[in-house]
Amino acid sequence: MPAEQFTHTSEETRMQSELSLLFYGREECAPAHSWGPALRDAFILHYIYSGKGIFRSEGREYPLSAGQGFLIVPDTLVHYEADADDPWVYAWIGLRGLHVRALLERAGLTAGSPVYAAADVSPFERFYAGLLEAREQPGGDLLVQAEVYRLLAALVAGAPKQSARANTPPPAREAHLSKAAAVIENGYSRKLGAEDIASAVGLDRTYLSSLFKNAYGVPLQTFLLQYRMRRARELLRNPSLSVSDVARSVGYPDPFLFSKMFKRVCGVSPTAYREQPEP
């Protein structure tokens, strides 16, 4: 059966900095079907419904079967292959966000410990169908996000006791990123630069930027720009707002500079974007 994959394109969900669902899918793999060795730029969590296969990461090999799953960590070289006689059927979700790494670590999932066994298979068995059903409902983007959190909660609940860290504070790195994200969310509409964000967090700008690079794949200044443009895309869907109104609303008093930056990030001018049909 060909792979099914859906991209989660809600503007509201793309703007969520804590956890964003990028895509999800399901596949009945052909015998010996494989992927890699290669890298991915997002956290991708797989769950195996049936069959078996091999997952390789950081020089280790993990034989896996139904009821188990594996995590691909960004920028980690991985390879996985379905069994030649009993190929696996699995589903996956792709995630990115400031809190994703910390949430997965609470479940005991890291690059060095990338596999899990579902303690209670029911949340995992139904999560893909739940995502498909949720996306068709009013407020589907919110329901889809709720399904993702439900799945992560099941992972944390089923984690070995020594790995679950629900009652411990987040690592300093995650706390700094979370605080920086709050500064951006509350201040993107004003004159706000990377230096201002670093000062509010109490960190050196270069160090904070490196944290964003590790978490998001882009430095702090680029993250701020992309965040503003995501917000701008949403505002441009409101016909009562002029391009100048939108520019000022995302921190650009100069509409010409805004249009230049919007085209750099989005590939089209604000006016051209506004004329495109909604996804």
Pairing, β 20-28 against β 89-96: antiparallel
Query: DSSP for 165-221?
Result: -TTSPPPHHHHHHHHHHHHHHHHTTSS--HHHHHHHHTS-HHHHHHHHHHHHSS-HH
State percent of the chain over pLDDT 90.
Answer: 47
pLDDT of 271 reads 93
Token representation of residue 244 = 């100048």
Does residue 5 have a pLDDT over 70?
no
81 three-state secondary structure: strand
Claim: this prediction has a pTM higher than 0.85:
no
Stretch 157-181: mean pLDDT: 68
| Sheet hosting strand 34-38, strand order edge to edge | 34-38, 78-82, 52-57, 60-65
Residue type, 122: S
Packing angle between helix 172-187 and helix 194-201, nearest 10 degrees? 130
Q: 196-208: per-residue pLDDT in tens?
A: 999 999 999 999 9
Q: 56-78: per-residue pLDDT in tens?
A: 998 899 999 999 999 999 878 89
Q: Please, which residues bridge with residue 53 across strands?
A: 64, 82
pLDDT of 255 reads 93
Tell me the backbone φ, ψ of residue 162, rounded to 5 degrees.
Answer: -75, -15
Q: Is the peptide bond before 63 cis (omega within 30 degrees of 0)?
A: no
Does residue 242 have a pLDDT over 90?
yes
- Confidence band, pLDDT 50/70/90 cuts, at residue 54: very high
117 three-state secondary structure: strand
Does residue 20 have a pLDDT over 90?
no
Stretch 168-181: mean pLDDT: 74
